[in-house]
Amino acid sequence: MSLQSERDRQSLELAAAVDFVRQRVDASPRVAIILGSGLGGLADRIKKATCIPYGEIPGFGTPSASGHRGQLILGELESSKVVAMAGRFHRYEGWSNDQVAFPVQLMSAIGAECLIASNAAGGVSPKLRVGDIFVIRDHINLIGGAAIGAQANHARWLVRHSDFYDSAMSRVALEVAIEEQFNAYEGTYLATLGPTYETRSEYRMMRRIGADVVGMSTVGEVLAAAQVKMRVLGLSMVSNVANPDRPMKTDHAEVLEAGRAAEVKMEAIVRGVLRSV
Protein backbone atom coordinates (compact mmCIF):
# COMPACT_ATOMS: atom_id res chain seq x y z
CA MET A 1 0.00 0.00 0.00
CA SER A 2 1.39 3.43 -0.93
CA LEU A 3 1.89 6.14 1.68
CA GLN A 4 -0.92 8.20 0.14
CA SER A 5 -3.26 5.20 0.18
CA GLU A 6 -2.44 4.58 3.85
CA ARG A 7 -3.13 8.23 4.68
CA ASP A 8 -6.48 8.05 2.87
CA ARG A 9 -7.40 4.83 4.68
CA GLN A 10 -6.60 6.30 8.09
CA SER A 11 -8.51 9.50 7.34
CA LEU A 12 -11.59 7.51 6.34
CA GLU A 13 -11.29 5.32 9.42
CA LEU A 14 -11.05 8.36 11.71
CA ALA A 15 -14.05 9.99 10.03
CA ALA A 16 -16.06 6.78 10.51
CA ALA A 17 -15.12 6.62 14.20
CA VAL A 18 -16.09 10.28 14.75
CA ASP A 19 -19.45 9.74 13.05
CA PHE A 20 -20.10 6.60 15.10
CA VAL A 21 -19.41 8.31 18.44
CA ARG A 22 -21.46 11.38 17.55
CA GLN A 23 -24.40 9.16 16.62
CA ARG A 24 -24.22 7.53 20.07
CA VAL A 25 -23.93 10.72 22.12
CA ASP A 26 -24.54 14.39 21.40
CA ALA A 27 -21.57 15.89 23.22
CA SER A 28 -18.40 17.84 22.56
CA PRO A 29 -16.05 16.99 25.44
CA ARG A 30 -13.40 19.51 26.31
CA VAL A 31 -11.07 17.21 28.26
CA ALA A 32 -9.88 13.69 27.38
CA ILE A 33 -8.70 11.31 30.11
CA ILE A 34 -6.74 8.07 29.66
CA LEU A 35 -6.93 5.73 32.66
CA GLY A 36 -4.08 3.27 33.05
CA SER A 37 -3.54 0.05 35.04
CA GLY A 38 -5.58 -0.06 38.23
CA LEU A 39 -6.87 3.48 37.76
CA GLY A 40 -10.12 2.73 35.93
CA GLY A 41 -12.31 3.38 38.98
CA LEU A 42 -12.46 7.08 38.16
CA ALA A 43 -14.55 6.19 35.12
CA ASP A 44 -17.33 5.07 37.47
CA ARG A 45 -17.59 8.61 38.87
CA ILE A 46 -18.40 10.20 35.51
CA LYS A 47 -21.99 11.48 35.55
CA LYS A 48 -24.54 11.24 32.74
CA ALA A 49 -22.23 8.65 31.25
CA THR A 50 -22.52 6.97 27.87
CA CYS A 51 -20.26 3.90 27.68
CA ILE A 52 -19.14 2.58 24.30
CA PRO A 53 -17.17 -0.71 24.11
CA TYR A 54 -13.99 -0.26 22.12
CA GLY A 55 -14.84 -3.18 19.87
CA GLU A 56 -17.85 -1.30 18.49
CA ILE A 57 -15.88 1.78 17.41
CA PRO A 58 -14.40 1.75 13.87
CA GLY A 59 -10.61 1.63 14.06
CA PHE A 60 -10.52 0.40 17.67
CA GLY A 61 -9.54 -3.03 18.90
CA THR A 62 -9.87 -4.57 22.36
CA PRO A 63 -7.03 -4.23 24.89
CA SER A 64 -5.74 -7.49 26.32
CA ALA A 65 -3.90 -6.17 29.40
CA SER A 66 -5.48 -6.99 32.74
CA GLY A 67 -7.19 -4.00 34.38
CA HIS A 68 -8.07 -2.36 31.06
CA ARG A 69 -11.80 -2.87 30.54
CA GLY A 70 -11.97 -1.31 27.08
CA GLN A 71 -14.67 1.36 27.13
CA LEU A 72 -14.89 4.91 25.82
CA ILE A 73 -16.96 6.90 28.34
CA LEU A 74 -18.50 10.30 27.62
CA GLY A 75 -20.16 12.37 30.33
CA GLU A 76 -19.48 15.01 32.97
CA LEU A 77 -16.98 15.35 35.79
CA GLU A 78 -16.68 18.52 37.90
CA SER A 79 -19.25 20.13 35.56
CA SER A 80 -16.86 19.62 32.63
CA LYS A 81 -17.71 17.52 29.61
CA VAL A 82 -15.14 14.74 29.40
CA VAL A 83 -14.31 11.69 27.33
CA ALA A 84 -12.42 8.94 29.16
CA MET A 85 -10.61 5.85 27.96
CA ALA A 86 -11.12 3.07 30.53
CA GLY A 87 -8.07 1.17 29.36
CA ARG A 88 -5.48 1.82 26.67
CA PHE A 89 -3.59 0.06 23.89
CA HIS A 90 0.05 -0.93 24.47
CA ARG A 91 2.68 -1.59 21.86
CA TYR A 92 3.61 -4.84 23.59
CA GLU A 93 0.10 -6.18 22.90
CA GLY A 94 0.90 -6.03 19.19
CA TRP A 95 -0.65 -2.65 18.38
CA SER A 96 1.24 -0.29 16.10
CA ASN A 97 2.17 3.29 17.00
CA ASP A 98 -0.66 4.50 14.77
CA GLN A 99 -3.18 2.25 16.53
CA VAL A 100 -2.01 3.55 19.92
CA ALA A 101 -2.41 7.12 18.64
CA PHE A 102 -5.82 6.60 17.02
CA PRO A 103 -7.97 7.08 20.18
CA VAL A 104 -6.25 10.40 20.91
CA GLN A 105 -6.92 11.57 17.36
CA LEU A 106 -10.57 10.57 17.79
CA MET A 107 -10.96 12.38 21.13
CA SER A 108 -9.42 15.50 19.64
CA ALA A 109 -11.68 15.29 16.59
CA ILE A 110 -14.83 15.23 18.75
CA GLY A 111 -13.73 18.35 20.63
CA ALA A 112 -11.19 17.58 23.36
CA GLU A 113 -8.55 20.30 23.74
CA CYS A 114 -6.75 18.86 26.78
CA LEU A 115 -5.46 15.37 27.53
CA ILE A 116 -4.87 13.90 31.00
CA ALA A 117 -2.89 10.69 30.48
CA SER A 118 -2.37 8.51 33.55
CA ASN A 119 -0.41 5.31 34.05
CA ALA A 120 1.12 3.01 36.61
CA ALA A 121 4.92 3.19 36.59
CA GLY A 122 7.90 1.81 38.43
CA GLY A 123 9.90 4.19 40.56
CA VAL A 124 13.51 4.61 39.48
CA SER A 125 14.36 7.58 41.73
CA PRO A 126 15.13 6.43 45.30
CA LYS A 127 13.03 9.27 46.75
CA LEU A 128 9.80 7.72 45.47
CA ARG A 129 7.49 5.41 47.44
CA VAL A 130 4.69 3.09 46.35
CA GLY A 131 1.48 5.11 45.98
CA ASP A 132 3.20 8.43 45.24
CA ILE A 133 1.90 10.48 42.32
CA PHE A 134 4.41 11.56 39.70
CA VAL A 135 3.80 14.53 37.40
CA ILE A 136 5.56 13.98 34.07
CA ARG A 137 7.48 17.03 32.88
CA ASP A 138 9.55 15.31 30.18
CA HIS A 139 10.05 11.84 28.74
CA ILE A 140 12.61 9.47 27.24
CA ASN A 141 11.14 7.38 24.43
CA LEU A 142 12.67 3.90 24.10
CA ILE A 143 9.54 2.24 22.69
CA GLY A 144 10.67 2.53 19.09
CA GLY A 145 8.73 1.49 15.99
CA ALA A 146 7.48 3.43 13.00
CA ALA A 147 6.71 7.12 13.24
CA ILE A 148 3.28 7.96 14.63
CA GLY A 149 0.77 9.24 12.12
CA ALA A 150 1.34 7.79 8.66
CA GLN A 151 -1.23 10.30 7.43
CA ALA A 152 0.92 13.19 8.67
CA ASN A 153 3.66 15.06 6.86
CA HIS A 154 6.72 13.46 8.41
CA ALA A 155 8.62 16.74 8.20
CA ARG A 156 6.36 18.01 10.99
CA TRP A 157 8.09 15.57 13.35
CA LEU A 158 11.56 16.92 12.58
CA VAL A 159 11.02 19.60 15.20
CA ARG A 160 12.13 19.74 18.83
CA HIS A 161 9.04 20.58 20.87
CA SER A 162 9.75 23.09 23.64
CA ASP A 163 7.43 21.26 26.05
CA PHE A 164 5.14 18.29 25.45
CA TYR A 165 3.59 18.69 28.90
CA ASP A 166 1.53 21.71 29.90
CA SER A 167 3.19 23.65 32.72
CA ALA A 168 -0.05 25.21 33.99
CA MET A 169 -1.85 21.87 34.41
CA SER A 170 1.28 20.35 35.96
CA ARG A 171 1.40 23.18 38.49
CA VAL A 172 -2.23 22.62 39.44
CA ALA A 173 -1.56 18.90 39.94
CA LEU A 174 1.27 19.64 42.39
CA GLU A 175 -0.84 22.24 44.20
CA VAL A 176 -3.66 19.73 44.68
CA ALA A 177 -1.21 17.26 46.22
CA ILE A 178 -0.09 19.91 48.72
CA GLU A 179 -3.68 20.80 49.60
CA GLU A 180 -4.71 17.15 49.99
CA GLN A 181 -1.49 16.30 51.86
CA PHE A 182 -0.09 13.48 49.77
CA ASN A 183 3.26 13.12 48.03
CA ALA A 184 3.64 14.21 44.42
CA TYR A 185 6.88 14.72 42.53
CA GLU A 186 7.79 15.84 39.02
CA GLY A 187 10.43 14.72 36.57
CA THR A 188 11.14 12.38 33.65
CA TYR A 189 9.17 9.32 32.52
CA LEU A 190 11.01 6.65 30.54
CA ALA A 191 8.89 4.54 28.17
CA THR A 192 9.99 1.05 27.15
CA LEU A 193 8.32 -1.45 24.82
CA GLY A 194 7.85 -4.14 27.49
CA PRO A 195 6.15 -6.35 28.45
CA THR A 196 8.91 -7.40 30.84
CA TYR A 197 9.73 -5.57 34.05
CA GLU A 198 13.21 -4.15 34.31
CA THR A 199 16.31 -5.92 35.57
CA ARG A 200 18.49 -4.41 38.28
CA SER A 201 21.12 -3.50 35.69
CA GLU A 202 18.48 -1.80 33.55
CA TYR A 203 17.32 0.23 36.56
CA ARG A 204 20.89 1.39 37.14
CA MET A 205 21.15 2.44 33.48
CA MET A 206 17.82 4.29 33.66
CA ARG A 207 18.94 6.29 36.69
CA ARG A 208 22.14 7.27 34.93
CA ILE A 209 20.35 8.60 31.84
CA GLY A 210 17.99 10.73 33.92
CA ALA A 211 14.77 8.73 34.36
CA ASP A 212 12.68 9.04 37.53
CA VAL A 213 9.96 6.51 36.64
CA VAL A 214 9.61 3.85 33.97
CA GLY A 215 6.55 2.43 32.21
CA MET A 216 5.30 0.87 28.98
CA SER A 217 2.81 3.42 27.68
CA THR A 218 1.79 7.09 27.47
CA VAL A 219 4.52 8.56 25.24
CA GLY A 220 2.82 7.43 22.02
CA GLU A 221 -0.39 9.08 23.15
CA VAL A 222 1.46 12.26 24.11
CA LEU A 223 3.12 12.43 20.69
CA ALA A 224 -0.29 12.03 19.05
CA ALA A 225 -1.69 14.81 21.27
CA ALA A 226 1.18 17.09 20.29
CA GLN A 227 0.40 16.50 16.62
CA VAL A 228 -3.17 17.83 17.12
CA LYS A 229 -1.99 20.56 19.53
CA MET A 230 -3.70 19.31 22.68
CA ARG A 231 -2.52 20.51 26.09
CA VAL A 232 -1.20 17.50 28.02
CA LEU A 233 -0.92 16.52 31.67
CA GLY A 234 0.96 13.28 32.29
CA LEU A 235 0.47 11.49 35.62
CA SER A 236 2.08 8.31 36.92
CA MET A 237 1.08 6.33 39.98
CA VAL A 238 4.20 4.73 41.48
CA SER A 239 3.35 1.03 41.68
CA ASN A 240 6.73 -0.28 42.83
CA VAL A 241 10.16 1.16 43.55
CA ALA A 242 13.41 -0.25 42.23
CA ASN A 243 16.25 -1.28 44.48
CA PRO A 244 19.11 -2.17 42.13
CA ASP A 245 21.14 -3.62 45.03
CA ARG A 246 18.54 -6.17 46.16
CA PRO A 247 16.64 -8.88 44.24
CA MET A 248 12.96 -7.93 43.92
CA LYS A 249 9.93 -9.47 42.26
CA THR A 250 7.17 -7.42 40.62
CA ASP A 251 4.02 -8.72 38.95
CA HIS A 252 0.97 -7.15 37.34
CA ALA A 253 -1.31 -8.02 40.28
CA GLU A 254 0.89 -5.86 42.51
CA VAL A 255 0.63 -3.00 40.02
CA LEU A 256 -3.18 -3.22 39.92
CA GLU A 257 -3.45 -3.30 43.72
CA ALA A 258 -1.20 -0.24 44.09
CA GLY A 259 -3.31 1.56 41.50
CA ARG A 260 -6.54 0.88 43.36
CA ALA A 261 -4.98 2.13 46.60
CA ALA A 262 -3.84 5.37 44.94
CA GLU A 263 -7.04 6.10 43.01
CA VAL A 264 -8.26 8.68 45.50
CA LYS A 265 -5.09 10.73 44.96
CA MET A 266 -5.33 10.50 41.18
CA GLU A 267 -9.02 11.46 41.31
CA ALA A 268 -8.28 14.50 43.47
CA ILE A 269 -5.74 15.74 40.91
CA VAL A 270 -8.01 15.11 37.93
CA ARG A 271 -10.88 16.97 39.61
CA GLY A 272 -8.61 19.87 40.53
CA VAL A 273 -7.30 20.16 37.00
CA LEU A 274 -10.81 20.00 35.56
CA ARG A 275 -11.87 22.89 37.81
CA SER A 276 -8.87 24.91 36.65
CA VAL A 277 -9.31 24.43 32.90
pLDDT at 228: 95
**Element spanning 188, H or E:** strand 184-192
Answer yes or no: are the C-beta atoms of 229 and 136 closer than 8 Å: no
- Write the CB contacts of 122 (distance below 8 Å, at least 6 apart in sequence): 197, 198, 213, 214, 215, 238, 239, 240, 241, 242, 250
Answer yes or no: are the C-beta atoms of 37 and 67 closer than 8 Å: yes
Answer yes or no: are the C-beta atoms of 217 and 211 closer than 8 Å: no
**How many distinct structural domains can be found in the chain?**
1
**Catalytic site includes residue 92:** yes
**Other Cβ atoms closer than 10 A to 105:** 23
Q: Which of 252, 254, 267, 276 is catalytic?
A: 252
**Catalytic site includes residue 185:** no
Q: Which of 32, 90, 117, 242 is catalytic?
A: 90
pLDDT at 8: 76
Per the structure, the complete domain to which residue 60 belongs is given by: 3-276
Degrees, nearest 5: CA angle 68-268-66: 10
Alpha carbons 74 and 260: distance in angstroms, whole number: 22
Alpha carbons 94 and 90: distance in angstroms, whole number: 7
- CATH number of the domain bearing residue 107: 3.40.50.1580
Q: Which of 97, 125, 170, 217 is catalytic?
A: 217
End-to-end Cα separation, the chain, in angstroms:
42
Q: Which of 64, 80, 92, 276 is catalytic?
A: 92
**Catalytic site includes residue 161:** no
**Catalytic site includes residue 216:** yes
pLDDT at 169: 98
Q: Which of 68, 84, 170, 221 is catalytic?
A: 68
**Catalytic site includes residue 240:** yes
Average pLDDT by stretches of 10, the chain with 277 residues: 71 95 92 84 92 94 73 96 94 92 97 96 93 96 72 52 89 98 97 88 94 96 96 94 69 67 89 94
